[in-house]
Structures are given as C-alpha cells and as structure tokens.
C-alpha cells in the first residue's frame, strides 16, 4: 500500500499519521502487556522450567545484542522506513502465530524467543521512525509514544481480569492476535513522514567512536545494570506471585501500578529531568533499583509491594530519561540513533539477557529471594558507575 502523505501537511493528515502510529504501538504494547506479567505462567503450563524460561528470554535478548546493530544499520539505510517496520512486524506476527500452532516444546520455545526478540527490535525502529516524523512536523513524539504505555496499562489490568476468568492458557492467543494486528497496521503506515529528510545515514566507521569513549561505556554499564536488574521481575514475577496466592487481576494491578508511575514521570517530569542532568538521573535510578529489589526479595505484604511498585518510575523511567538526556547532550546529532541502538542492545539487552539466564538457575537452586538479591546487587554496582559518570564527564559532546 502506498499511503503517500509526503506532499502537503494538513491537520487531518497529521492526525491520521498519529492515529496509525499509535495503533502500531498498540499492537506491540498489547502483546507486551500480556507477555511480561503472564507469559511465564503460560510457558510453565507448557512444561518449561524456570531455568528454561530464563534461557528463552535470555537467548532472545542476547540475539538482540548480536544482531541488533546490524538490523538497525540495515534499517537506517532503507530509502522507505516502512520496509524494515513491515519485515520486522511480519516476523513478530510469525512468532505470535507460532506460539499457538507449534506442535513441539522446542518449536514453542523458538516461537517465544522470536517474538521477544522481534519486539525488542521493533520498538526502537518504531521510535526512530516516529522521532523523525516529529522532526518532520507530522506528529508529537511524546503523545504518540505515550499511547504505547497506555495500551500496556489497559492490557495489564483487563488482561489480569480476563485471564483470571479463563486461565493463563489464553495468554498466547491474545499475544498472537496483537502481533498479527501490528503487522496489519504496518501495511497502513504512511509513506514519507518518517524518512531521514535527505540526511545521509551514519557510516559503520563512526559507531566505534562511541564505544571507544570511556564516558559512553560507563553510562552504558550504569544504564544496562539498572535496566537489567528488572530481569527477574520481567521473567518470573508472575510465577512467584501466583505461588503467594495473588490472583491474575492482582498481578495485573501490580504491573499497572508500576506503569502508571512510569507514565507520570515520563509525561510530567521532562523539564525537571533536564535540570537534574543525566548523571543524577542515573544515580537515582540505580539507587532505587538497589532498594526496590532488596525489599522485594524479603517478600513484603501486598500493600508494601504495591508501594515498591511505584519505584518503577525511578528504576525504569528515570534511568531511561537519564540515558536519553545523555545521548542528546553528549552524542553528535548524526550518531544519536546509533547511540540509542547501542544502549538498547549492547547495554540493556546484554545485561538483561545474561541476568535472566543466570537468575533462572539461581531461582531454581535457591528460590526467589536470592534471585532478587542478585538484582539489588546489580543496582548497587550501577550506583558506583553512575557516580563515575558524574566524575569523568564534563557535560559536553564526546566528540564532534
């Protein structure tokens, strides 16, 4: 489909672009709203152990580390940004359908790894397209991106209620429908709104300049450890909370509490974040991770657990804002997208993937407590790294 809107911008065309991209995010984040809280329970029903679930999740994240930069480089060199989004959306849908059609445990695991990997690639590719559409005057990035969080929020609440009635066995079919919907919407994406505007794509020769910077590497480690410390929460929290007797609705509300806190910070505190600066945000996020996962390891009463969930605004959102602010201030404009990809794959993807694999074995050997304490330790190391950023970075560009 052509959907070429590149000739003349009008309010109605801009609204159409915003609605289509918001719906595209919607397919992705509806799936995430089921996958993160409930998918481990579905895999457990299919006979996967916690170690095997950790391997599936970790393998997909490590694949993002190994293949992510190549996919991002390929996508950035496409003349039509929709091509990469449609191909990744097709693989996304293929993984979703594979979950419900795969006849063997090995193929189910492969489909699960594919859908988690493609989601991890599809979101930054979509972010890049929408950021460029914002730069080209078509959309407001913050509003369109917030739609993804809103879809996720609603899904965790309604999904918890739905699965409470019909059982966790419905998780995979809902994920498949969401993935297929995302692919269908990708066919409607308008042409010419998220292009580079004539700018040349970055050369491979420039990317190593970022990785050779001690400041960039320190930020990568700090952000990677803090975001990676969510590994146990993302992969196994449903299993533990179900054992503790919490209903799927309660589990959905626990997740929703964290997302609401995240949305509040992302939408209300950008100005404050700019004044605080990247290093301070990274320190706050890492310190919150240390505290959050330490007390979760103690298995506090449900009201305290809800209170701890509000720290997601700091462990995720503050760290995310700190990373974005750092890239905006420290990276040359032509390398911002490359920096985002490296942070997402080499940093966050790698730490989360490795932490998920290791935590699966720690959980199986010693239970939830030691696994969450491992996450708290990652946060503590991230605090040290974040303080190092404040010490060694002068706040300017790494290079021109």
pLDDT over 70 percentage in the chain? 92
CA distance 72 to 90: 17
CA distance 291 to 270: 24
Task: Report pLDDT digits (tens) over 324-374.
Answer: 889 888 887 667 667 777 787 767 777 888 898 899 899 989 999 999 999
Res. 398: pLDDT tops 70: yes
Domains of the chain: 12-195 (1.20.1250.20), 204-400 (1.20.1250.20)
Helix (H, G, I), strand (E, B) or coil at 48: coil
Radius of gyration of the chain (CA): 20
Contact, 108 vs 99, CB < 8 A?
yes
Task: Spell out the alpha helix ranges (H) of 245-348.
Answer: 248-268, 270-276, 278-297, 302-309, 312, 319-330, 336-342
Q: How many CB atoms lie within 10 A of CB 110?
A: 16
CA distance 29 to 185: 13
The confidence band for 4, taking pLDDT boundaries of 50, 70 and 90, is low
DSSP for 72-93 reads HHHHHT-SSTHHHHHHHHHHHH
CA distance 1 to 121: 23
Burial-class residue 284 by CB neighbours within 10 Å (0-12, 13-18, 19+). buried
Structure tokens at 143: 């509003």
Per-residue CA distances from 190 to 30, 165, 169, 251, 381 (Å): 22, 39, 36, 38, 44
CA distance 23 to 12: 16
CA distance 23 to 170: 22
Residue 337: which of 178, 186, 131 has the closest Cα? 131
Q: What is the pLDDT of residue 31?
A: 94
Rounded average pLDDT over 193-208: 65
Helix (H, G, I), strand (E, B) or coil at 204: helix
Res. 153: pLDDT tops 90: no
Task: Report pLDDT digits (tens) over 25-55.
Answer: 999 999 998 998 889 889 999 999 988 988 8
Contact, 133 vs 17, CB < 8 A?
yes
Residue 200 DSSP symbol:
P
* pTM: predicted TM-score of the whole model, two decimal places: 0.79
Res. 178: pLDDT tops 90: yes
CA distance 12 to 3: 14
């Amino acid at each position: 489909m052509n959907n070429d809107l590149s000739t003349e911008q009008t309010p109605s065309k801009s609204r159409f672009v915003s609605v289509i991209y918001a719906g595209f995010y919607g397919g992705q984040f509806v799936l995430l709203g089921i996958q993160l809280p409930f998918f481990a329970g579905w895999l457990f029903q299919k006979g996967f152990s916690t170690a095997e679930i950790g391997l599936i999740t970790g393998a997909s994240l490590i694949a993002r580390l190994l293949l992510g930069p190549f996919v991002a480089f390929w996508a950035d060199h496409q003349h039509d940004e929709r091509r990469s989004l449609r191909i990744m959306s097709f693989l996304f849908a293929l993984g979703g359908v594979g979950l419900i059609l795969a006849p063997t445990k090995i193929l189910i695991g492969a489909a699960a790894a594919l859908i988690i990997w493609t989601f991890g690639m599809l979101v930054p590719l979509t972010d890049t397209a929408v950021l460029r559409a914002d730069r080209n005057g078509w959309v407001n990035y913050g509003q369109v991106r917030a739609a993804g969080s809103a879809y996720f929020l609603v899904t965790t609440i309604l999904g918890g209620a739905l699965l409470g009635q019909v059982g966790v066995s419905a998780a995979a079919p809902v994920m498949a429908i969401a993935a297929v919907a995302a692919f269908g919407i990708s066919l409607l994406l308008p042409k010419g709104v998220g292009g580079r505007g004539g700018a040349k794509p970055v050369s491979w020769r420039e990317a190593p300049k970022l990785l050779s910077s001690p400041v960039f590497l320190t930020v990568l480690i700090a952000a990677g450890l803090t975001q990676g410390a969510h590994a146990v929460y993302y992969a196994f929290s449903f299993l533990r909370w179900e054992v503790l007797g919490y209903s799927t609705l309660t589990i959905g509300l626990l997740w929703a509490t964290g997302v609401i806190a995240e949305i509040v910070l992302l939408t209300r505190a950008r100005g404050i974040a700019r004044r605080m600066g990247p290093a301070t945000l990274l320190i706050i996020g890492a310190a919150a991770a240390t505290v959050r996962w330490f007390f979760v390891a103690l298995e506090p009463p449900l009201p305290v657990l809800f209170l701890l969930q509000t720290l997601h605004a700091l462990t995720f959102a503050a760290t995310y804002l700190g990373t974005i602010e750092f890239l905006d201030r420290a990276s040359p404009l032509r390398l911002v997208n490359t920096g985002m990809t490296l942070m997402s794959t080499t940093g966050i993807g790698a730490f989360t993937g490795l932490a998920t694999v290791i935590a699966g074995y720690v959980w199986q050997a010693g239970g939830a407590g030691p696994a969450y304490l491992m996450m708290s330790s990652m946060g503590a190391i991230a605090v040290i790294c974040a303080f190092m950023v404040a010490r060694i970075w002068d706040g300017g560009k790494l290079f021109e």
